[in-house]
């Protein structure tokens, strides 16, 4: 059943940890913070509440999320600006708003609670629904179109790379065979097909065997990794000196990308053996988290969606205009 209210069941992941991580950068008059993944607005509401002088710019590609969050954040008036955009478009969004630099950026990656909870979006493998999976249903191709039109090679590739699925080739073969009989439209048929394609011994561990296939389709349909690969460096570029970025990832492919960008910015580019490191080769990011932080056992008990989260925080410590 769908709902038009955010409701108490929506529990933002690692909420207070995110606020504490951003606090040193945004606890001042005139600070600007970007919520790159607005969703149902839980993190944004906390930012506006806990930091009463902050201005919030929040983006989401899902029009329904913007509508619901707009209602939730309406009491904050013009302190909150909500924009329909994908998060790799943050620099363009800020330019249109006349903002050069921001003091904080928050990414809560992956699929939102609302998208998972609404059966007709097709994100959840636990209930039968149309195979859509688009975060923005006004554009792009659906998961059903991917299943019904991609070649065996392309299907196997996305299942292996995006789903880290060991049986990608076998599942792709079964998909091609079955779609020749009847095109795919709903999720239950795909779940059953994947379950039957995977050896029984493997099915006994690791949860629902369709989980990896659904993850792969969702990432492909929404171009998630390509978008993230553009979004992280773009957002770091608009971060002011002393500004902080918080990123929460829910699967290893996302976390690996974030880790690579943060590590690159926090590492000297000078050749080894120099008696001193020239300014243009100095690290320009400082890692606030050493490695990725996990949710506490207590939070996971309260909110199962926090179980896979990996949180990383970086701070801009130097301008890199000289680096070329």
Annotated binding site: which residue ranges?
41-43, 60, 87, 108, 115
User: What is the β-pairing status of strands 102-108 and 310-316?
Assistant: unpaired
* Cα distance between residue 320 and residue 167, in whole Å: 44
Distance (Å) of CA 33 to CA 5, 15, 240, 259, 272: 25, 15, 11, 21, 37
User: Residue 64's closest CA among 129, 140, 115?
Assistant: 115
* Cα distance between residue 313 and residue 116, in whole Å: 26
Q: How many CB atoms lie within 10 A of CB 76?
A: 17
DSSP code at position 79: G
- Report the binding-site residues for S-adenosyl-L-methionine: 41-43, 60, 87, 108, 115
State whether residue 93 is helix, strand or coil.
helix
Contacts by 205-212, CB closer than 8 A, 24 or more apart? 208/125, 208/126, 210/125, 211/125, 212/159, 212/163, 212/164, 212/165
State whether residue 5 is helix, strand or coil.
coil
DSSP code at position 267: S
* Cα distance between residue 135 and residue 36, in whole Å: 14
């Amino acid at each position: 059943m769908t709902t038009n209210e955010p409701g108490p069941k929506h529990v933002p992941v690692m909420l207070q940890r995110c606020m504490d991580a951003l606090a040193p950068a945004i606890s001042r008059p005139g600070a600007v913070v970007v919520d790159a993944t607005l969703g149902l607005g839980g993190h944004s509401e906390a930012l506006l509440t806990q930091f009463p002088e902050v201005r919030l710019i929040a983006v989401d590609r899902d029009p329904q999320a913007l509508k619901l969050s707009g209602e939730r954040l309406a009491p904050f008036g013009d302190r909150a600006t909500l924009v329909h955009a994908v998060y790799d478009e943050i620099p363009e969004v800020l330019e249109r708003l006349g903002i050069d630099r921001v003091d904080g950026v928050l990414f809560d990656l992956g699929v939102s609670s609302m998208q998972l909870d609404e059966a007709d979006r097709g994100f959840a493998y636990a209930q039968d629904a149309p195979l859509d999976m688009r975060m923005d249903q006004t554009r792009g191709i659906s998961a059903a179109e991917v299943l019904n039109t991609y070649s065996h090679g392309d299907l196997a590739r996305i299942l292996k790379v995006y789903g880290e699925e060991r049986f990608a080739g076998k599942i792709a073969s079964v998909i091609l065979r079955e779609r020749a009989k009847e095109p795919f439209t709903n999720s239950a048929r795909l779940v059953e097909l994947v379950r039957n394609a995977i050896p029984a011994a493997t099915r006994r561990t690791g949860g629902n065997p369709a989980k990896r296939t659904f993850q792969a389709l969702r990432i492909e349909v929404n171009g998630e990794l390509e978008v993230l690969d553009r979004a992280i460096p773009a957002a770091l570029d608009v971060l002011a000196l002393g500004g902080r970025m918080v990123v929460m990832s829910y699967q290893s492919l996302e976390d690996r990308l974030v880790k690579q960008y943060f590590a690159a910015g926090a590492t000297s580019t000078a050749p080894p053996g120099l008696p001193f490191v020239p300014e243009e080769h100095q690290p320009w990011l400082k890692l606030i988290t050493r490695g990725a932080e996990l949710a506490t056992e207590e939070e996971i008990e309260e909110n199962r969606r926090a179980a896979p989260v990996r949180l990383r925080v970086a701070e801009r410590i130097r301008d890199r205009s000289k680096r070329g």
